[in-house]
Structure 1
């Protein structure tokens, strides 16, 4: 039941927006009573917390496995970048909801939203920092800015990517990964 409620809430939050989706809307779309919905989730904030936490946990678990691979950091960053793109494209409703929930007005109300992306960002930032310490990447830009810039562009994918355009998820992931790695390898301009 919880899985079904999360799936319906995710779809409605993505389609209509968080503020324009009521608990009644979720209950109606899930073909349950509002009372049953309240048995599982105390309110919309709790439901949104659960949606964001589920998506963030899944993404962070994948990134953790990528980061632990016994391969050079450049290969792990490439894999992490391609995975972020694949997740954003294959789970566009999750990406849209998490991105919308990250707005300060929403995040202030929802505890899990504030923390939902933290573990993922920390893991991704650690990969970039490792590459910078090893000399594989430039240190011109702080790792946290690189991560925020990259993830911002990935979150934007759900607004334009359509499989019918002839670009596969793998193709888009490779382009994004190449762009990230090119930026990280950029040599300092001559003084």
Structure 2
């Protein structure tokens, strides 16, 4: 088995087991048996079950951060930039829905330093996302009557809730869902949206 195959097999087995029986009650032995590898092979890439849980989510964090940087660097107008980032966040979150679901159920069980690392990485991504909104506010595109932190939380609350209702077997594709949620967010963000109403 190739190195990348070992890592992927172990992560997939861990996601399946964590989802079906929980992180706390899943043993390393069960993971390696399901993955068809030895403990030695697993420990070559993951020092512990804790390390494995972090790696499951770190893969998505890294992917989304790389995509955000590419979109921002492409030089699109602000509104098009934010739209592209929102669509990417939703589509990649759907692509990694099992991983994200498992992680958020179990993140409180991570070692403290790992929890702090996740918090730091997520805050960095949210800060980069907020800077796009700030740019749009300076350009007069987006509302300024609501704190940016609230606007960011509004978008990501929809993303984090996906696992509670979205099914790949449903009638709408991930692209349609991404477009719909992005449109709803951008409409709520427009300058003048909700202002002067009660």
Which residue, 28, 36, 39 being the options, matches 1:31? 36
Whether 2:114 is the aligned partner of 1:110: answer: yes
Give the Cα–Cα distance (whole angstroms) in 2 for the partners of residues 15 and 109 of structure 1. Answer: 26
Q: Give the 3-state SS of the residue equivalent to 2:189 in structure 1.
A: helix
8 Å Cα contact 1:88-1:158 kept in structure 2: no
Instruction: Tell me how far 1:172 sits from its aligned partner.
Output: 0.9
Give the Cα–Cα distance (whole angstroms) in 1 for the partners of residues 27 and 84 of structure 2. Answer: 38
Q: Which runs of 5+ in 2 are unaligned?
A: 1-5
Q: Give the 3-state SS of the residue equivalent to 2:13 in structure 1.
A: helix
Give the Cα–Cα distance (whole angstroms) in 1 for the partners of residues 111 and 180 of structure 2. Answer: 31
Distance change (3 Å), C-alpha of 1:60 and 1:98: farther
Aligned to 2:63: 58
Task: List per-residue Cα deviations over 1:22-81 (Å, max 9, x = no partner).
Answer: 222211211123343233222111112222221100111111112222222111111111
Task: List per-residue Cα deviations over 1:115-155 (Å, max 9, x = no partner).
Answer: 34233222212211211222110112222222222112112
TM-score (structure 2 length as normaliser): 0.83
Give the Cα–Cα distance (whole angstroms) in 2 for the partners of residues 130 and 15 of structure 1. Answer: 43
Which residue, 73, 82, 86 being the options, matches 1:68? 73
Q: Which has the higher contact order (CA 8 A, sep 6+)?
A: 1
TM-score (structure 1 length as normaliser): 0.85
8 Å Cα contact 1:18-1:101 kept in structure 2: yes
Distance change (3 Å), C-alpha of 1:76 and 1:157: same
Whether 2:195 is the aligned partner of 1:188: answer: yes
Which residue, 147, 156, 177 being the options, matches 1:151? 156
8 Å Cα contact 1:60-1:119 kept in structure 2: no
Q: Which runs of 5+ in 1 are unaligned?
A: none
8 Å Cα contact 1:101-1:113 kept in structure 2: no
Q: Give the 3-state SS of the residue equivalent to 2:161 in structure 1.
A: helix
Which residue, 82, 85, 92 being the options, matches 2:87? 82
Aligned to 1:134: 139
